[in-house]
Structure 1
Amino acid sequence: MLKERKMKMNSILKKENSLDSKIGFNLLPNKTIEIVEEFNGVKKVKSTTIEEFIKIIDESYVESFDSVKKNNKDKILSGTGILPNSDSVSTLKVIQYDNDKRTVYLLRKNRPTTINFEDSLFHNVKMPRLIFKIDFKKNDVTTAKVFATKDKVITKKTKLYKYPLSNVGSNGGICFGNIERPAYKNGISSFSFPDFFLSTRMNFDYYNNANSSGLSVRPFLEELVKADEFDNNFLKTTDITFDEF
């Protein structure tokens, strides 16, 4: 059983995804797993326990696509993602269509950021984990959505929560207004999109009912600056799972 599981993991991890990332692993004598990730020509090595590694594999959302969408002639060519592609952003899934369109799902970890609210900068703002769905036409972002999540490991059943600040609609749609969106020449550069969005000027739009703090935008940001980490109790639930996103 363990041998079959190891063979399955080896097969999954040695896949090359569409964002130029390769992952392999070695079982070390001290019963730990050495994970070797090559991303854009740069190798990273990290270790974890066998138990934690198996848990990641079992719970991670990994899907291979080689089929045609029902009632849609666009062929889904590839899907990716079980382990981080960078220190702060993970690729959860990539769907490449045959008409220069692609959809990228990214997870931004709960790292602090700087928020520009009405031209006032708030540094070290604690944020929850954020899942972005970004639609591209060639190199251009056409639409984007974002939800928060409490889960460390993203699965099909992962519950999504409202983005807790402003400029995001109830359906997760990001309101760019007059902000010029950068072009992304490849999948690797699209990793910068979450931080690009967080750095854009924020106002009061769509803030009503965005979180359960009971605070207006400025006091809430001040609270998040002082906090040690984002309190997930501030998040407001939706009826959406990652599989439905």
Structure 2
Amino acid sequence: VDIDPASISKLVKADFPIVGDVKNVVKEMLESVSLINPSKYESWRDTIKNFDSLHPLTYHEDTDRLKPQWVIQRVGELLGDSANISTDVGQHQMWTAQFYPFSRPRQFISSGGLGTMGFGFPAAMGVKVASPDKVSINFTGDGSILMNCQELMTAVEKKIPVINIILNNNYLGMVRQWQTLFYNKRHSETDLSVQPDFVKLAEAFGGIGYRVHTKEEFDAALKDAVEKNIVTFIEVVIERLENVMPMVPSGGSLFNMMLLERKEKK
């Protein structure tokens, strides 16, 4: 559905193109929903289940650093439905969509495919103000959090207790992944080995900060952050070269999807 006929089948071939205002079109569609026979789609649901069994989302804990997927899953285990989840843009955004056990509508707040780094922290602040009874978590990266770290001052002044979990791989991770896989490891301006002390940065604004390397340290930091109920940075030192899979190469179709991670030398 698109209001601009020039956009119909521009990127993906539409089997049923509809030109119109999406609000009006959806209203008309709703009138036909009651006529749909759910059994018609059982074969498609079986196909999807087969995809899940053939290529399940997984990861391997074979390094001395924490895996970002574990961190996200662990937050889900500890907080679950009691948390609202926001993200910045990058690998952590994809991992969050894949591995957090979302259980209700509007629990996941993300900027989508056309978003920008820096979205997560202010979004999580707005989420906390709108839903003060839930813990507001922002999954971010060491690159993204620097885009709007000055909002620490706003969070302290307005008493908005957002917990920012910084998955720190000392890279602009998503860009590094693309440069590795499609540009023969010609890494340009993606190594963030030189960066601020995130614990001191949070404390300088009046918040609290933690740096964790182990599962036990992470559990303790998250528990303490929830109890103290002020704006927080939890910097998690994660595996540097972890890639997000599956992914689709630029300009490719879903048939070009890459499902398996290629091992890299550190």
Query: After TM superposition, is the score higher than 0.5?
Result: no
TM-score, length of structure 1 as denominator length: 0.23
Which has more radius of gyration? 2
Larger strand share, 1 or 2: 1
Larger helix share, 1 or 2: 2
